[in-house]
């Protein structure tokens, strides 16, 4: 069955880089798109970007200068990297197949000074 | 970027009531190619990942109770929950995916 699982750090230092891996199973990354969505504590959902099945990417303009999404199809993994972290980047980060309603459980990342 | 304006921010209801949540997009979400509106509705309960309720503005996801009804076209969309049940108390979000996706700010459905 389709599964997505995020792995990443619980804590990242201010101004450092966040790296999260989304490992998928049950489908091919060359067939379906994978999105990144985040949610600060007590706040709403924010779309960050996507890895398209053809290998291209799309980014929310709010993050464009510091966000990078890539993939390794052989490992069925999609990667999120975001630099220059600030305290307001504290959030739960999800990978998801938005159109098909498959989501990971999310990873809660706290940015600490 | 398409901006999604969702209202209200919160709603207090009693079981059995009907509620309406609105989303307005800054541009039309209707594709001229297939006449589909690229608008979805999600439900999120505390501590859980969001769950898709409605896609293409009015198509109910498999397994979603028929008390959840999506309507609208172009730039104005509505999620109606008739006969609200206690299990419906959650946050609701609209999402446009006509272009780079954007979520509405969310609506918290609470018990009166």
Yes or no: say if A15 and A71 are a contact pair by the CB < 8 Å rule: no
Helix (H) or strand (E) holding B13: strand B10-13
Chain B residue closest to A5 (CA)?
B49
- Mean pLDDT for chain B? 96
Chain A residue closest to B9 (CA)?
A44
Q: Is the pLDDT of residue B72 over 80?
A: yes
Yes or no: say if A8 and A107 are a contact pair by the CB < 8 Å rule: yes
Spatial separation of the C-alpha atoms in residues A70 and B11, rounded to whole Å: 40
Question: What's the pLDDT tens digit per position in A72-101?
Answer: 999 999 999 999 999 999 999 999 998 788
Nearest to B95 by CA among A19, A24, A50, A54: A50
- Integer angstrom CA distances of residue A37 from A49, A98, B18, B105: 7, 10, 30, 14
Inter-chain residue contact A103 with B1, CB threshold 8 Å = no
- Chain B: give the shortest CA distance to residue A90, in Å: 16
- Integer angstrom CA distances of residue B45 from A4, A62, B25, B76: 19, 26, 24, 25
Nearest to B87 by CA among B61, B109, B66: B109
Nearest by CB to B95, which of A61, A98, A106? A98
Nearest to B39 by CA among B31, B49, B29: B29
Question: What's the pLDDT tens digit per position in B14-41?
Answer: 999 999 999 999 999 999 999 999 999 9
A99: helix, strand or coil: helix
């Amino acid at each position: 069955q389709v599964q997505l699982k995020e792995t990443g750090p619980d804590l990242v230092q201010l101004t450092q880089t966040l790296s999260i891996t989304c490992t998928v199973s049950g489908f091919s990354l060359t067939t379906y798109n994978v999105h990144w969505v985040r949610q600060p504590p007590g706040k709403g959902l924010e779309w960050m970007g996507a890895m398209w099945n053809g290998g291209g990417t799309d980014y929310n303009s709010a993050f464009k200068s510091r966000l990078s999404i890539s993939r390794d199809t052989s490992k069925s993994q999609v990667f999120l990297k975001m630099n220059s972290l600030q305290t307001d980047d504290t959030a739960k980060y999800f990978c998801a197949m938005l159109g098909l309603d498959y989501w990971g459980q999310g990873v809660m990342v706290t940015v600490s000074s | 970027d398409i901006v999604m304006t969702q209202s209200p921010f919160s709603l207090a209801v009693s079981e059995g009531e009907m509620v309406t949540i609105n989303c307005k997009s800054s541009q039309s979400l209707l594709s001229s190619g297939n006449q589909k509106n690229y608008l979805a509705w999600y439900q999120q309960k505390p501590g859980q990942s969001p769950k898709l309720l409605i896609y293409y503005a009015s198509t109910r996801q498999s397994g979603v109770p028929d008390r959840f009804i999506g309507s609208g076209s172009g730039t104005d969309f509505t999620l109606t929950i008739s006969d609200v049940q206690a299990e419906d108390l959650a946050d609701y979000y609209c999402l446009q995916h006509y272009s780079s996706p954007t979520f509405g700010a969310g609506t918290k459905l609470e018990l009166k």
